[in-house]
């Protein structure tokens, strides 16, 4: 069992780390405060080839989920909101189109998305269909030379700057099975509402969508009709690995900040890092960060080898996201009153981390997924 990164993985990690520290980090706090979009940074990442990392070589990628996880962790360490935009764009919006789209569709839409010309959005969630995806009300009706799609989607990442939306819909009112459709963003009837203001991850655009009799050609049904969720399983696993990697980044940032602060903050005549109460907190944080990273890379490794990874991806996402929240919370405790102020990024880490316990399936859904993979039946 080899835990060393390959030379290619190390080189990519170094490139993304340099970009994250030099370009992304300086404005992270300001983007959070003003809820400014990360689109310009994602465009730069497209030009550098980062958006294509897990895709096939013909699209400029390496086909490596491990490399993708390493890159997302580096971005998430300095700006989790950008990490969300990156992970959702690539793991959901682009990989799904790569897997299910026709050659013409990929040439027309996937190429520009990977170059950073525009973003890709994945629209599954609705008001009454989040964890219960099969309860979606959006419909796609056969009409003339194509489909007419109507419905409402909620909390869609990257929608404001999307060039296309991959939206799920039911093609038969009596069926709970979903299909997935490619909807160009300029289609009449597609309305993207302004981004919502969130507790955390504020620089990641999260929009509601309205689909009012949006027409698309027959071939914009991707894959097989009524099999959206099975067909998208690979992308959904990748999405969970992406969230886990962002969470590892937040947890690592929290640990690093807390360790540095504890070494220079003096109380009772000595640095607080010399008190066992603080040492125990830092030690626990270090253990959990390392465990979360290993779980995330294991899930990515399994996915790259086309081995079953549903349970591994859910485990990584569950543990890493909850680790990020715990690490940020403990870091704030070590900072004390200073950490509660806006002067330091600790309070941002905590706000951002909480969102990772919800997006891409809540912690409760991850636990259910793990239980099902262990052979436990539904009640």
Q: Active site includes 360?
A: yes
Helix (H, G, I), strand (E, B) or coil at 180: strand
Of 216, 203, 111, 191, nearest in space to 157 by CA: 203
Do residues 278 and 272 lie in contact, with contact meaning Cβ atoms separated by under 8 Å? yes
Backbone phi and psi for residue 49, each to the nearest 5 degrees, phi listed first? 85, 5
Cα–Cα dist 246/70, whole Å? 9
Contact 246, 323 (CB under 8 A): no
- For 130, phi and psi rounded to 5 degrees? -110, -90
- Sign of the C-alpha dihedral, residues 206, 207, 208, 214? negative
Task: For residues 242 and 258, give the distance between their C-alpha atoms in angstroms, rounded to a whole number.
Answer: 24
Q: Angle at the Cα of 156 (from 97 to 41), degrees rounded to 5?
A: 75
Task: Kindly name the residue from 152, 205, 360, 364 that is annotated as catalytic.
Answer: 360
- Short-list 13, 17, 100, 115, CA closest to 64: 13
End-to-end CA distance of the chain: 38
Beta bridge partner(s), residue 216: 147
Sequence-distant (6+) residues with CB within 8 A of 12 are 53, 62, 67, 70, 71
The set of catalytic residues is 360
């Amino acid at each position: 069992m080899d835990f060393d990164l390959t030379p290619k993985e190390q080189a990519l990690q170094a490139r993304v780390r340099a970009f994250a520290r030099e370009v992304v980090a300086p404005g992270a706090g300001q983007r959070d405060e003003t809820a400014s979009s990360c689109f310009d940074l994602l465009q730069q990442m497209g030009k550098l080839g980062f958006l294509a990392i897990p895709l096939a070589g013909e699209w400029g990628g390496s086909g490596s989920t491990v490399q993708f996880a390493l890159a997302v962790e580096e971005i998430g360490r300095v700006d989790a909101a950008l990490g969300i935009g990156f992970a959702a764009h690539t793991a959901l919006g682009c990989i799904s189109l790569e897997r299910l789209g026709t050659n013409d569709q990929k040439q027309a839409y996937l190429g520009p998305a990977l170059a950073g010309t525009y973003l890709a959005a994945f629209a599954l969630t609705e008001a009454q269909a989040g964890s219960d995806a099969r309860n979606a009300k959006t419909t796609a009706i056969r009409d003339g030379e194509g489909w007419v799609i109507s419905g409402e989607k909620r909390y869609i990442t990257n929608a404001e700057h999307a060039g296309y939306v991959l939206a799920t819909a039911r093609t038969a009112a009596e069926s709970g099975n979903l299909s997935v459709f490619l909807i160009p963003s300029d289609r009449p009837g597609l309305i993207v509402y302004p981004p919502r203001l969130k507790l955390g991850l504020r620089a990641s655009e999260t929009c509601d969508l309205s689909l009012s009799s949006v027409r698309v050609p027959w071939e914009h049904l991707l894959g097989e009709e009524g099999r959206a969720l099975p067909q998208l399983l690979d992308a959904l696993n990748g999405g969970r690995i992406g969230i886990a990697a962002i969470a590892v980044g937040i947890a690592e940032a929290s640990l690093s900040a807390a360790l540095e602060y504890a070494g220079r903050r003096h109380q009772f005549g000595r640095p607080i890092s010399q008190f066992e109460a603080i040492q125990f907190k830092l030690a626990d944080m270090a253990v959990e960060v390392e465990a979360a990273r290993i779980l995330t890379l294991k899930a990515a490794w399994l996915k790259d080898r086309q081995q079953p990874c549903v349970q591994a991806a859910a485990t990584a996402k569950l543990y890493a996201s909850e680790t990020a929240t715990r690490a940020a919370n403990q870091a704030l405790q070590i900072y004390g009153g200073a950490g509660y102020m806006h002067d330091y990024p600790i309070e941002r880490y905590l706000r951002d981390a909480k969102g990772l316990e919800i997006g891409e399936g809540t912690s409760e859904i991850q636990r259910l997924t793990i239980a099902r993979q262990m052979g436990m039946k539904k009640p």
